[in-house]
Structure 1
Amino acid sequence: MARRIEHHTTSPHSAEKVFGALVDETYLRDRLASIGGNDAELMTFSSANGKTSYQLKQGVPAEHLPSIAKSLLGGDLVIQRVENWAAGAGTVEVTINGVPGRLDGSFTITDNGAGSKTTLVGEVKVSIPLMGGKLEKLIAEQVVVLLNKESEFTSEWLANRG
């Protein structure tokens, strides 16, 4: 069984500026350095003809994980993200080391009054009998926390660039 996720974040900056940040290699490196966790890395980045694709690796130390995740992973949580962006919309695929599951979703960025709204709609699926639902819930909760941190970082990053 899969768990649907829908999450919205807002920014005081226009959709165009937020999108511009999300497809900027310097921004991605700065974001990873600030909130990417252990061994964070921009593994691949390409941008051409209005389309941008990249792969990120982020880490969460085992001591920051709930006991169910610690027992399953046997160490740190390593998150691999592949994002593809074009014209204010994107897709994301997330896999986690040691977990037979993934998050697939799509992003939209729209103007919202004087700022913008970014929406993620997706699905978390973990194929582990008896524990899958608990892990899906945990992953969905952690995705929300991460998206909120990334949204705050993006707003500050853009504010510092005028």
Structure 2
Amino acid sequence: MARSIDYRSTSEHPADEVYATMVDPDYLQARLETLGGPGARLEEHTADVHGARYRLRHGLDPEDLPPAVQKVLTGELVIERSESWTRTGEGHYDGQVTVRIPGTPASAAGWMRLADLNGSEAGASEFVVHADVTVKVPLIGGKIETTVAESVTRLLASETAFTLDYLR
């Protein structure tokens, strides 16, 4: 059974500005250098005002994982993360994300939305992510899914803080 991740953040910047930053290769490289772990890099990248597609490589030190997870996910861990974005209207972008950890039974997939907020918060935007984490390991898969989901939520919060700082 998959574990769901629901993440939401707001920014005082309009969605078009946040989008332009989030898909900029220099920004992505800087974010990976800060938060991507060992061997992190931008593998592929295309972007314009209408949409973007990129693939990121994150590295994980197994010693940073809980002992129960270390037993299943051994050796150097690489996370392959693919994201695609489409501009669906003024100040509105929809995205898809997939995550693979080669050599493991763990994966994640979901959707993203970046949109201007209406009303009194004109100029502000909201970023929303929903993803399902799946770990196909009998008996302890659910525990690992919970751990991975919590780690992904922390990573999203760190990436959001990095983005907001980068926008200043």
Distance 1:43 1:101 in 2: 20
Find the partner of 2:104 among 99, 102, 107: 99
Distance 1:93 1:122 in 2: 9
TM-score, normalization by structure 1? 0.91
Specify the alignment match of 1:25 in structure 2. Answer: 25
Q: CA 1:124–1:142 in 2, change beyond 3 Å: closer, same or farther? A: same
Specify the alignment match of 1:115 in structure 2. Answer: 124
What's the CA shift for 1:75? 2.4
User: Structure 1, unaligned stretches of length 5 or more?
Assistant: none
Distance 2:10 2:37 in 1: 23
What's the CA shift for 1:99? 2.1
What's the CA shift for 1:49? 7.2
SS in 2 for 1:117: strand
Distance 2:153 2:53 in 1: 22
Q: Residues 6-155 of structure 1: matches in 2 within 5 Å?
A: 6-47=6-47, 50-87=50-87, 88-112=93-117, 113=121, 114-155=123-164
Stretch of structure 1 that moved more, 48-57 or 81-90: 48-57
What's the CA shift for 1:12? 2.2
SS in 1 for 2:137: coil
SS in 2 for 1:82: strand
Output one character per residue of 1:79-98: Cα deviation in whole Å (capped at 9) or x when no partner: 11000111112100001233
Distance 2:34 2:4 in 1: 28
What's the CA shift for 1:158? 1.0
Output one character per residue of 1:14-68: Cα deviation in whole Å (capped at 9) or x when no partner: 2111111111111111111111111101011123572211110111212211111
What's the CA shift for 1:76? 3.5
Distance 1:89 1:123 in 2: 17
Specify the alignment match of 2:90 in structure 1. Answer: none
Stretch of structure 1 that moved more, 95-104 or 124-133: 95-104
Distance 1:49 1:64 in 2: 38
How many residues are aligned here?
Answer: 159
TM-score, normalization by structure 2? 0.88
**Which aligned runs of 4 or more in structure 1 are off by greater than 3 angstroms?**
none
Output one character per residue of 1:111-144: Cα deviation in whole Å (capped at 9) or x when no partner: 2325221100121111111111011111110110
Stretch of structure 1 that moved more, 30-39 or 108-117: 108-117
User: Structure 2, unaligned stretches of length 5 or more?
Assistant: 88-92
Specify the alignment match of 1:5 in structure 2. Answer: 5
